[in-house]
Amino acid sequence: QIQAVFLVSRQGKVRLQKWYTAYPGKDRPKAIREITSIILSRGSRLCNFIEWKDLKVIYKRYASLYFCMCVDADDNELDCLEVIHLFVEVLDRYFGNVCELDLVFNFHKAYYILDEVLLSGELQESSKKSVARVISAQDTMVEKAKETGISHMMSSSSK
């Protein structure tokens, strides 16, 4: 089971975090700091798995961002590593050549997408196409709501 997912930049700034356990909110920043400092200090030729407390952290660097997943100690490491890559591919498809700034300014989108890829700490959907369909349907619905909202505002202001 995936316990937590987080994205940190090379400077150690958190770009996204999501927890799938009742890990106390107050301890989360500390946990992320600890794990990040281990990961940032590791060379690029080392393996992508580390142990932290009784968990395993699977991480992978994409450009300036580290994607990290805390999982149970007996989970399949490579399986998790490719879940990360799947998530990256989905982001890439949505943003079109995704970069860190996309995720900074559209962090809420990243959250929506994550929620379609993972749920309850498990992989929810492995078809990129299927995720893309769901997200674009969501976007359409929000847009619609916005339009009606604006027309409502305009009609109320013109009164």
Partner 1 sequence: MALSGMRGLSVFISDVRNCQNKELERARVDKELANIRTKFKNDKGLTPYEKKKYVWKMLYIFMLGYDVDFGHMEAVSLISAPKYAEKQVGYIVTSSLLNENHDFLRLVINTVRNDIIGRNETFQCLALTMVGNIGGKEFSESLAPDVQKLLISNSCRPLVRKKAALCLLRLYRKNPDVVSVDGWADRMSQLLDEREIGVLTAVMSLLVALVANNPDAYWNCVSKCVRVLERLTRSQDIPQEYTYYGIPSPWLQVKTMRVLQYFPAIDDPNIRRSLFEVLQRVLMGTDAVKNINKNNATHAVLFEALALVMHLDAEKDMMAQCVGLLGKFIAVREPNIRYLGLENMTRMLMVSDVQESIKRHQVQIITSLRDPDIRFRIIFIDLLVQCISLCSIRRRSLDLLYGMCDVTNAKDIVEELLQYLTTADFAIREELALKAAILAEKFAPDLSWYVDVILQLIEKAGDFVSDDIWYRVVQFVTNNDDLQPYAAAKARDFLDKPAVHETMVKVAGYLLGEYSHLLSRRPGCSPKEVFSIIHDKFATVSTPTKAILLSAYIKILLHSQTVDPELQNHVLAVFRKNETYLDAEVQQRASEYYALSRKGPSMVDVMAEMPKFPERQSALLKKAEDTEVDVADTSATKLRLMQLTSTAVVVADQKPANGVHPALTRVPSGQRNIEAPTVPVANGGQSPAPVDFLAIEAAPTHSAPESSPLVGPGDSLALALMDNQASTVQPTGSVTEWFDALCRKDSGILYEDPFIQIGLKAEWRGNQGRIVLFLGNKHTAPLLSVKAVILPPRHMQLLTSNVPDTIPPRAQVQCPVEVTNLSPSREIPVLDFSYNNSSAMVSFKLRLPVIMSKFLQGATLAPADYIARWKALMGPPNKLLQEVVRGVKPLPLQEMSDLLGSLHVAIAPGYDPNVNNIVGAATYFSENPTLCLIRIETDPADRTQIRLTVGTPDTSVALELKEYIKERLVDIPSGAAPTSLPGMPSPADDLVGPAASLAGLI
Residues 46-105 that bind partner 1 (CB under 8 A): 46-51, 54, 72-79, 81-83, 85-86, 95, 101-102, 104-105
Give dist(CA 53, CA 68) in Å, integer.
15
Which positions ≥6 away from 48 have C-beta within 8 Å?
Answer: 58, 59, 60, 77, 81
Alpha-carbon 83 to chain mean position:
11
Q: Is 10 in the site for partner 1 (CB under 8 A)?
A: no
**Pick from 37, 53, 63, 127: which binds partner 1 (CB under 8 A)?**
127
Size of the site for partner 1 (CB under 8 A): 72
| Residue the block writes with tokens 């749920």 | 119
Residue 147 belongs to what H/E stretch?
helix 128-158
Q: Is 41 in the site for partner 1 (CB under 8 A)?
A: no
**Pick from 122, 136, 151, 154: which binds partner 1 (CB under 8 A)?**
122
- Shortest spacing between CB 80 and partner 1, in angstroms: 8
